[in-house]
Amino acid sequence: MLNIGCHLSISKGFAHIGIEAKSIGANTFQFFTRNPQGGKAKELDSADVEKYNSYASENGFAPIVAHAPYTLNPCSDNPQTREFAQMVFADDLRRMSKIPHNYYNFHPGSHVGQGIEKGIEMIVDLLNSVMQQDQNTTVLLETMSGKGSEVGAEFNQLAEIISGVRLKEKMGVCLDTCHIFAAGYDIVHDLDSVMTEFDKNIGLSRLKAVHLNDSLMPFASHKDRHAKIGEGEIGQEALIRFINHPTVRKLPFILETPNDLDGYEKEIALMRKNYTA
Ligand code: FE
Ligand code: FE
Ligand code: ZN
Protein backbone atom coordinates (compact mmCIF):
# COMPACT_ATOMS: atom_id res chain seq x y z
CA MET A 1 0.00 0.00 0.00
CA LEU A 2 1.12 3.53 -0.79
CA ASN A 3 1.82 5.60 2.31
CA ILE A 4 0.72 9.12 1.51
CA GLY A 5 -0.63 12.20 3.21
CA CYS A 6 -0.15 15.93 3.31
CA HIS A 7 0.79 18.80 5.52
CA LEU A 8 -1.96 19.45 8.09
CA SER A 9 -2.48 21.78 11.02
CA ILE A 10 -2.45 20.31 14.53
CA SER A 11 -4.30 23.26 16.04
CA LYS A 12 -7.25 20.96 16.89
CA GLY A 13 -5.07 18.23 18.33
CA PHE A 14 -3.69 14.88 17.21
CA ALA A 15 -6.82 12.78 17.61
CA HIS A 16 -8.61 15.22 15.30
CA ILE A 17 -5.82 15.31 12.73
CA GLY A 18 -5.78 11.50 12.49
CA ILE A 19 -9.48 11.44 11.61
CA GLU A 20 -9.05 14.35 9.23
CA ALA A 21 -6.13 12.62 7.50
CA LYS A 22 -8.09 9.40 7.08
CA SER A 23 -11.11 11.31 5.73
CA ILE A 24 -9.05 12.49 2.75
CA GLY A 25 -7.53 9.07 2.10
CA ALA A 26 -4.25 9.73 3.88
CA ASN A 27 -2.40 7.32 6.18
CA THR A 28 0.34 9.72 7.22
CA PHE A 29 0.75 13.50 7.51
CA GLN A 30 3.15 16.24 8.39
CA PHE A 31 2.68 19.04 10.91
CA PHE A 32 4.59 22.04 12.20
CA THR A 33 5.85 21.50 15.73
CA ARG A 34 5.05 25.14 16.54
CA ASN A 35 4.05 28.17 14.54
CA PRO A 36 6.55 28.81 11.73
CA GLN A 37 7.69 32.01 13.43
CA GLY A 38 8.98 29.70 16.12
CA GLY A 39 7.28 31.05 19.23
CA LYS A 40 6.74 29.08 22.39
CA ALA A 41 5.10 25.75 21.65
CA LYS A 42 2.09 24.29 23.40
CA GLU A 43 2.76 21.16 25.45
CA LEU A 44 1.36 18.07 23.76
CA ASP A 45 -1.71 16.76 25.54
CA SER A 46 -0.91 13.16 26.56
CA ALA A 47 -4.50 11.91 26.40
CA ASP A 48 -4.95 13.40 22.93
CA VAL A 49 -1.68 11.90 21.70
CA GLU A 50 -2.60 8.49 23.20
CA LYS A 51 -5.89 8.59 21.30
CA TYR A 52 -4.01 9.39 18.10
CA ASN A 53 -1.47 6.62 18.66
CA SER A 54 -4.15 3.94 18.94
CA TYR A 55 -6.16 5.38 16.03
CA ALA A 56 -3.03 5.37 13.89
CA SER A 57 -2.15 1.77 14.65
CA GLU A 58 -5.75 0.59 14.11
CA ASN A 59 -5.81 2.36 10.76
CA GLY A 60 -2.43 1.29 9.48
CA PHE A 61 -0.81 4.70 9.57
CA ALA A 62 2.79 5.04 8.43
CA PRO A 63 5.23 7.13 10.47
CA ILE A 64 4.39 10.84 10.58
CA VAL A 65 6.69 13.79 10.03
CA ALA A 66 7.09 16.76 12.34
CA HIS A 67 8.53 19.82 10.61
CA ALA A 68 10.69 22.31 12.47
CA PRO A 69 9.93 26.01 11.97
CA TYR A 70 11.46 27.56 8.84
CA THR A 71 13.05 30.27 10.94
CA LEU A 72 15.29 27.77 12.71
CA ASN A 73 18.81 28.42 11.40
CA PRO A 74 21.61 26.43 13.03
CA CYS A 75 24.25 28.14 10.87
CA SER A 76 23.29 31.78 11.22
CA ASP A 77 26.13 34.24 11.81
CA ASN A 78 24.16 35.59 14.76
CA PRO A 79 24.90 33.67 17.98
CA GLN A 80 21.46 34.50 19.36
CA THR A 81 19.77 32.96 16.32
CA ARG A 82 21.90 29.84 16.72
CA GLU A 83 21.07 29.65 20.41
CA PHE A 84 17.37 29.99 19.59
CA ALA A 85 17.68 27.15 17.04
CA GLN A 86 19.29 24.96 19.67
CA MET A 87 16.58 25.73 22.22
CA VAL A 88 13.74 25.04 19.77
CA PHE A 89 15.37 21.84 18.47
CA ALA A 90 15.94 20.41 21.96
CA ASP A 91 12.44 21.33 23.08
CA ASP A 92 10.88 19.79 19.95
CA LEU A 93 12.79 16.53 20.44
CA ARG A 94 11.60 16.41 24.03
CA ARG A 95 7.98 16.96 22.98
CA MET A 96 8.29 14.38 20.17
CA SER A 97 9.04 11.68 22.73
CA LYS A 98 5.27 11.50 23.34
CA ILE A 99 4.79 10.33 19.75
CA PRO A 100 7.56 7.74 19.54
CA HIS A 101 9.12 6.29 16.36
CA ASN A 102 8.36 9.25 14.14
CA TYR A 103 10.44 11.78 12.25
CA TYR A 104 11.61 15.32 12.99
CA ASN A 105 12.49 17.08 9.74
CA PHE A 106 14.40 20.34 9.49
CA HIS A 107 16.00 22.60 6.90
CA PRO A 108 19.75 22.34 7.52
CA GLY A 109 20.09 26.11 7.36
CA SER A 110 21.56 29.05 5.49
CA HIS A 111 25.20 29.93 6.04
CA VAL A 112 24.57 33.61 5.16
CA GLY A 113 27.93 34.06 3.46
CA GLN A 114 30.10 32.18 5.93
CA GLY A 115 30.58 29.38 3.40
CA ILE A 116 29.23 25.85 3.05
CA GLU A 117 31.96 24.26 5.17
CA LYS A 118 31.44 26.64 8.07
CA GLY A 119 27.69 26.08 7.74
CA ILE A 120 28.07 22.32 7.88
CA GLU A 121 30.28 22.60 10.94
CA MET A 122 27.67 24.65 12.81
CA ILE A 123 24.84 22.28 11.84
CA VAL A 124 26.88 19.33 13.11
CA ASP A 125 27.56 21.23 16.35
CA LEU A 126 23.87 21.84 16.90
CA LEU A 127 22.97 18.21 16.28
CA ASN A 128 25.68 16.95 18.60
CA SER A 129 24.51 19.28 21.34
CA VAL A 130 20.78 18.45 21.21
CA MET A 131 20.52 14.79 20.19
CA GLN A 132 20.22 12.30 23.01
CA GLN A 133 21.21 8.66 23.22
CA ASP A 134 17.72 7.71 24.43
CA GLN A 135 15.64 9.79 21.99
CA ASN A 136 13.05 7.77 20.07
CA THR A 137 12.76 10.21 17.16
CA THR A 138 14.81 10.04 13.97
CA VAL A 139 16.06 13.44 12.82
CA LEU A 140 15.74 14.11 9.09
CA LEU A 141 17.76 16.56 7.04
CA GLU A 142 15.65 17.94 4.20
CA THR A 143 17.18 18.17 0.72
CA MET A 144 17.11 21.85 -0.27
CA SER A 145 16.83 23.79 -3.54
CA GLY A 146 19.94 25.86 -2.87
CA LYS A 147 18.24 29.24 -2.84
CA GLY A 148 20.33 32.00 -1.29
CA SER A 149 23.02 30.42 0.89
CA GLU A 150 21.13 27.26 1.77
CA VAL A 151 23.15 24.26 2.88
CA GLY A 152 21.88 20.86 1.73
CA ALA A 153 21.22 21.32 -1.99
CA GLU A 154 23.84 18.66 -2.79
CA PHE A 155 23.71 15.11 -1.50
CA ASN A 156 27.38 15.23 -0.48
CA GLN A 157 26.67 18.12 1.90
CA LEU A 158 24.01 16.09 3.69
CA ALA A 159 26.40 13.14 3.82
CA GLU A 160 29.03 15.38 5.38
CA ILE A 161 26.61 16.55 8.07
CA ILE A 162 25.64 12.98 8.93
CA SER A 163 29.26 11.89 9.10
CA GLY A 164 29.93 14.55 11.75
CA VAL A 165 27.02 13.53 13.98
CA ARG A 166 27.83 11.19 16.84
CA LEU A 167 24.39 9.54 17.03
CA LYS A 168 24.37 8.63 13.33
CA GLU A 169 21.87 5.83 13.80
CA LYS A 170 19.25 8.48 14.64
CA MET A 171 19.88 10.49 11.45
CA GLY A 172 18.04 10.27 8.13
CA VAL A 173 17.07 12.31 5.09
CA CYS A 174 13.76 13.60 3.74
CA LEU A 175 13.86 14.02 -0.03
CA ASP A 176 11.80 16.93 -1.40
CA THR A 177 11.09 16.34 -5.11
CA CYS A 178 10.58 20.06 -5.83
CA HIS A 179 13.78 21.00 -4.05
CA ILE A 180 16.07 18.41 -5.66
CA PHE A 181 14.69 19.18 -9.12
CA ALA A 182 15.33 22.88 -8.55
CA ALA A 183 18.76 21.98 -7.17
CA GLY A 184 19.70 20.27 -10.46
CA TYR A 185 18.87 16.58 -9.92
CA ASP A 186 16.94 15.51 -13.00
CA ILE A 187 14.22 13.26 -11.63
CA VAL A 188 12.23 13.79 -14.84
CA HIS A 189 14.69 12.32 -17.35
CA ASP A 190 17.17 10.44 -15.22
CA LEU A 191 15.58 9.21 -12.01
CA ASP A 192 17.72 6.06 -11.83
CA SER A 193 20.96 8.06 -11.87
CA VAL A 194 19.69 10.51 -9.27
CA MET A 195 18.84 7.69 -6.89
CA THR A 196 22.16 5.97 -7.61
CA GLU A 197 23.90 9.22 -6.72
CA PHE A 198 21.87 9.48 -3.52
CA ASP A 199 22.90 5.95 -2.63
CA LYS A 200 26.60 6.56 -3.37
CA ASN A 201 26.72 9.76 -1.32
CA ILE A 202 24.32 9.20 1.55
CA GLY A 203 23.12 5.61 1.31
CA LEU A 204 19.52 4.69 0.54
CA SER A 205 19.01 3.26 4.02
CA ARG A 206 19.11 6.88 5.30
CA LEU A 207 16.17 7.89 3.13
CA LYS A 208 13.12 7.89 5.43
CA ALA A 209 10.49 10.18 3.91
CA VAL A 210 9.60 12.11 0.75
CA HIS A 211 8.03 15.53 0.23
CA LEU A 212 6.04 15.01 -2.96
CA ASN A 213 5.72 18.33 -4.78
CA ASP A 214 5.72 19.64 -8.30
CA SER A 215 7.95 22.65 -8.98
CA LEU A 216 6.76 25.99 -10.32
CA MET A 217 10.36 26.90 -11.15
CA PRO A 218 12.46 25.23 -13.87
CA PHE A 219 15.13 22.56 -13.52
CA ALA A 220 18.28 23.73 -11.69
CA SER A 221 16.76 27.16 -11.02
CA HIS A 222 17.69 27.02 -7.32
CA LYS A 223 14.29 28.49 -6.54
CA ASP A 224 11.83 26.97 -4.10
CA ARG A 225 8.24 27.29 -5.29
CA HIS A 226 5.94 24.30 -4.90
CA ALA A 227 3.25 23.55 -7.48
CA LYS A 228 0.26 21.23 -7.47
CA ILE A 229 0.89 17.77 -8.93
CA GLY A 230 0.91 18.14 -12.72
CA GLU A 231 0.93 21.94 -12.65
CA GLY A 232 4.68 22.39 -12.52
CA GLU A 233 7.91 21.65 -14.35
CA ILE A 234 8.24 18.10 -13.04
CA GLY A 235 4.83 16.97 -14.18
CA GLN A 236 2.37 14.29 -13.20
CA GLU A 237 3.98 11.48 -15.18
CA ALA A 238 7.39 11.95 -13.59
CA LEU A 239 5.89 12.13 -10.10
CA ILE A 240 3.97 8.91 -10.70
CA ARG A 241 7.18 7.25 -11.88
CA PHE A 242 8.82 8.61 -8.75
CA ILE A 243 6.40 7.11 -6.19
CA ASN A 244 6.74 3.74 -7.90
CA HIS A 245 10.54 3.73 -7.94
CA PRO A 246 11.89 0.71 -6.03
CA THR A 247 14.19 2.92 -3.92
CA VAL A 248 11.35 4.98 -2.40
CA ARG A 249 8.03 3.20 -2.92
CA LYS A 250 7.63 2.03 0.70
CA LEU A 251 8.36 5.43 2.27
CA PRO A 252 5.82 7.92 3.61
CA PHE A 253 5.03 10.55 0.94
CA ILE A 254 3.95 13.98 2.15
CA LEU A 255 2.27 16.45 -0.22
CA GLU A 256 3.26 20.08 0.39
CA THR A 257 1.43 21.32 -2.65
CA PRO A 258 -0.60 24.55 -2.52
CA ASN A 259 -3.98 22.94 -1.79
CA ASP A 260 -6.95 22.96 0.53
CA LEU A 261 -8.21 19.63 1.92
CA ASP A 262 -10.23 18.97 -1.24
CA GLY A 263 -7.22 19.41 -3.44
CA TYR A 264 -5.12 17.15 -1.23
CA GLU A 265 -7.81 14.48 -1.32
CA LYS A 266 -7.72 14.53 -5.14
CA GLU A 267 -3.93 14.32 -5.31
CA ILE A 268 -3.87 11.45 -2.81
CA ALA A 269 -6.50 9.58 -4.84
CA LEU A 270 -4.57 10.24 -8.06
CA MET A 271 -1.37 8.84 -6.58
CA ARG A 272 -3.10 5.81 -5.05
CA LYS A 273 -4.73 5.03 -8.41
CA ASN A 274 -1.36 5.12 -10.14
CA TYR A 275 0.61 3.13 -7.58
CA THR A 276 1.49 -0.35 -8.72
CA ALA A 277 0.82 -2.77 -5.90
FE1 FE B 1 10.54 21.84 4.42
FE1 FE C 1 9.66 20.17 1.75
ZN1 ZN D 1 10.02 24.01 -0.37
**Domains annotated on the chain, with CATH:** 3-273 (3.20.20.150)
In whole angstroms, how far apart are CA 4 and each of 7, 147, 226, 230, 243?
A: 10, 27, 17, 17, 10
DSSP-derived secondary structure letter, 2? -
> Do strands 214-215 and 226-227 pair parallel, antiparallel, or not at all (unpaired)?
antiparallel
Alpha carbon of 176 to ligand 1 centroid (Å): 8
Q: What is the pLDDT along the chain (277 residues), one digit of tens a residue?
A: 999 999 999 999 999 999 999 999 999 999 999 987 666 788 899 999 999 999 999 999 999 999 999 999 999 999 999 999 999 999 999 999 999 999 999 999 999 999 999 999 999 999 999 999 999 999 999 999 999 999 999 999 999 999 999 999 999 999 999 999 999 999 999 999 999 999 999 999 999 999 999 999 999 999 999 999 999 999 999 999 999 999 999 999 999 999 999 999 999 999 999 999 8
Q: Which of 139, 119, 121, 117 is nearest to 130 (CA)?
A: 139
The environment of the single-atom ion ligand 2, i.e. residues with CB closer than 5 A, is 176, 211
* 151 vs 108: CA distance, rounded Å: 6
Closest ligand to Cα 217: 3
Q: What 3-state class would DSSP assign to 140?
A: strand
Q: How far, in Å, from the CA of 256 to the mean position of ligand 1? A: 9
Rounded to two decimals, the pTM is 0.97
CA of 193 to the centre of ligand 1 (A): 24
